[in-house]
Amino acid sequence: MTSSLVTGGQGFIGGHLVRALLERGDEVTVLDLRGAPGRALDVHGLTEEVRLVEGDVADPAAVHRAVREAGSSSGPDSIFHLAAQTLVGPAAEDPVATFRANVEGTWTILEAARETGVGAVVVASSDKAYGPSESLPYRESDELRPAAPYEASKAAADVISRSYWPAFGVPVGVTRLANVYGGGDMNGSRLVPETVNACLEGRSPQIRSDGSPQRDYLHVSDAAAAYLAIEGAVLEGSGRGEALNAGTGEPHSVREVIELITAEVARTGVEPVEAEYLGEGVPEGEIDRQFVDASRLTELTGWRPRVDLADGISEAVGWYRSHHRG
């Protein structure tokens, strides 16, 4: 049986990835913080199906414990490293804590992989690692020009991870995913969960921008599939030491997303509410327009996004509605 270790498996994307790994028959170990806020394993009803190791990914002792649990002396077959401090605001307030989790956490995982010998390590970078750019869509050959702490933490983790293939022969693939959304995101401050929950409660969604920022919205099921595709490529010997974009290639404004959500919520019979746009332009420290070219990933693995934005928003609204605690 294939053994996989997922760091950050209590988080939004991690929870969906764990489910996909269990569905394909893997034995799954999760490393995440004690009291992790997302509790994705509980939310998805998977707590009994995985081994859970509680600890900090930047703590070598916790990582060694997780690696041992996952695969005895030889380590797991695959490691998916998603654990990170993922919120842009807290990263700007406390960059050092974010660098510790996101950068030190990454080299701690890579060192464990180097010592034990693992079939594939897939590391979560982000399209945020590119930083603000006039030249869009982002391509993997573009320079990484982070301009804020979260972006810098992802860029640093990305660069360090890729170096472990030529330097030490650790088979690493790096993911640069676009904005991921869908049911099961317990980070209440993110656009989609915050807007859906506000609409369900009859509150006006408070939007920090004027609605103009544009993002490439990737449904979480397509995100989990991208992780598996990159793992497959790395196991087969391609994509090692590379970073690969995953997204739809289509930018959508915040306003478009809000309008889709409010229309979808209204269809469920809930009294419609109007969003309030509080900002002018883009909130400080955020990028105004982002979308990615994922053609390299498609060429290498055949991966393509399957869920369009309208269907994805409809899935997300259905999910938050059925899990809403009021």
The residues that are catalytic are 150
Nearer to ligand NAD, 14 or 205 (CB): 14
Q: Which two tokens stand for residue 229?
A: 């595709």
* 3 state DSSP class of 275: coil
Nearer to ligand NAD, 100 or 304 (CB): 100
Q: How far is CA 237 from each of CA 120, 242, 286, rounded to the nearest angstrom?
A: 9, 11, 36
Tokens 């049986």 label which residue?
Answer: 1
- Options 30-38, 42-50, 205-213, 267-275: segment touching ligand NAD (CB under 6 A): 30-38
Identify whether the C-beta of residue 176 lies closer than 8 Å to the C-beta of residue 243.
yes
Among 11, 71, 137, 241, binds ligand NAD (CB under 6 A): 11
- The closest residue (CB) to ligand NAD is 11
Task: Give the contact letters, 293-312, x = binds to ligand NAD (CB under 6 A), - = no.
Answer: --------------------
185 φ, ψ (degrees, to nearest 5): -90, 110
Task: Indicate whether 251 belongs to the interface with ligand NAD (CB under 6 A).
Answer: no
Identify whether the C-beta of residue 147 lies closer than 8 Å to the C-beta of residue 131.
yes
Task: Indicate whether 159 belongs to the interface with ligand NAD (CB under 6 A).
Answer: no
Closest CA to 254 of 290, 201, 299: 290
Least distance to ligand NAD, CB of residue 85, Å: 5
As a whole number of angstroms, the distance between CA 62 and CA 52 comes to: 11
Task: Indicate whether 187 belongs to the interface with ligand NAD (CB under 6 A).
Answer: yes
Task: Give the contact letters, 95-134, x = binds to ligand NAD (CB under 6 A), - = no.
Answer: ------x---x------------------x-x--------
Among 108, 161, 179, 290, binds ligand NAD (CB under 6 A): 179
Least distance to ligand NAD, CB of residue 35, Å: 8
As a whole number of angstroms, the distance between CA 104 and CA 125 comes to: 14
Identify whether the C-beta of residue 243 lies closer than 8 Å to the C-beta of residue 174.
yes
Closest CA to 180 of 17, 49, 3: 17
Contacts of 197 (CB under 8 A, 6+ apart): 188, 320, 324
Least distance to ligand NAD, CB of residue 176, Å: 7
Closest CA to 153 of 173, 133, 131, 136: 131
Nearer to ligand NAD, 51 or 270 (CB): 51
159 φ, ψ (degrees, to nearest 5): -65, -45
Q: How many residues bind ligand NAD (CB under 6 A)?
A: 27
Task: Give the contact letters, 48-87, x = binds to ligand NAD (CB under 6 A), - = no.
Answer: --------xxx-----------------------xxxxx-
Tokens 């391509």 label which residue?
Answer: 139
Q: Which residues bind ligand NAD (CB under 6 A)?
A: 8, 10-14, 32-33, 36, 38, 56-58, 82-86, 101, 105, 124, 126, 154, 177, 179-180, 187
